[in-house]
Amino acid sequence: MRNKRILITGGSGSWGQELTRQILSKDPEQIVIFSRNEAMQVAMKIKFNDSRIKFVIGDIREPKAIMEACEGINYVINCSALKHIDVCEKQPREAVKTNIYGVQNVIDACIANCVEVCIHISSDKACNPNLIYGQTKAISERLIIEANNQTLNTDFFCVRSGNILGSAGSVIPIWIKQIAEQNCIYLTNPLMTRFFITVQDAVSLTLKAMNKSDRGEVFVFRMPSFYVQSLSELIVDYYGDSKTKIKKLDPRPGESVNELLVTEDEAERTLVSKDYFIVYPLIDVKTANYPKITNVTRLKHEYSSGDVAVYDKDELLKLVQKAGYCL
């Protein structure tokens, strides 16, 4: 990153702000924050107060805007997405515009401007998706992978993450608000499991992947998984009182008990390493030189939150505290 110019789309969000914090320590020439949210950009400018950060109002849906933003850029990290599941279900056309057409606009801009590397932030919802959000993220992964065959000047790859603890719209701030307003929280299934990671760790692993990528891979974080019931009890212990209730709701349409980070089909072409599962593409990628995956190093089966979930509340507490909650 030293003396490089980095563009972060969706850069005023949780991912973008942590990327900015970590990249600044690597002495870049400039970080360009490209996003639609004027208020968050203003707050971020005050928070960081660093002349190396440039703020640009723009939307990846607009080809001209992202094309201009990529001029002179070395690295692009695409964090832009419509990610709220209910919103995407109710307005699928809007999800497609951002999560598919917008990603293609980013690809076109990177190729036209000879950007060195483009990293696309994906989601566990891209695995065997049954809802619009996951379906659009699955397609965006395919677009990023295939983009490597359109140019030899830009290397494209993806990182796939589970739930970021404490990010905007995630479950912890929602529960804290419910306790403050109603002295209860809502949970659909006590057997539900989810992968969790802090944004600090997610960003650190993303930047590490830049040094490991050839081109066209999907880097899947190796993440701990916990029962959501354990997380709900932890939040009630620290933010509630003896009268705080955990109320059961009917599952939302399409909501799964467990989540996948690597599917059964992908496991056949997935390399196991210390920090990641590295999923190699189905298609041939120009100039890519992937290692041979043996029975020793490849993933033997799908990677499901239900298979690795633990009840360890002490470990979960450490993770929640690392996410910035003073429990």
**Could you tell me the CATH number of the domain that includes residue 69?**
3.40.50.720
Residue 185 lies in a domain: no
Residue 15 lies in a domain: yes
Domain count, the chain: 1
Catalytic machinery residues: 125
The C-alpha atoms of residue 300 and residue 289 are separated, in whole angstroms, by 22
Q: For residue 3, what are its two tokens?
A: 């003396």
Write down the pTM of the prediction. Answer: 0.94
Q: Give the pLDDT confidence of 196-252 residue by residue, as tens digits.
A: 999 999 999 999 999 999 999 999 999 999 999 999 999 999 999 999 999 998 887
pLDDT at 327: 62
Residue 110 lies in a domain: yes
Exposure of 133 by Cβ count < 10 A (0-12 exposed, 13-18 middle, 19+ buried)? buried
Residue 270 lies in a domain: yes
pLDDT at 153: 97
pLDDT at 285: 97
| Residue ranges making up the domain that contains 136 | 5-163+197-223+262-303
Which of 321, 307, 295 lies closest to 222, judged by CA? Answer: 307
What kind and span of H or E run contains 248? strand 245-248
For the chain, list residues with pLDDT below 50. none
pLDDT at 87: 94
Number of H helices, E strands in the chain: 13, 17
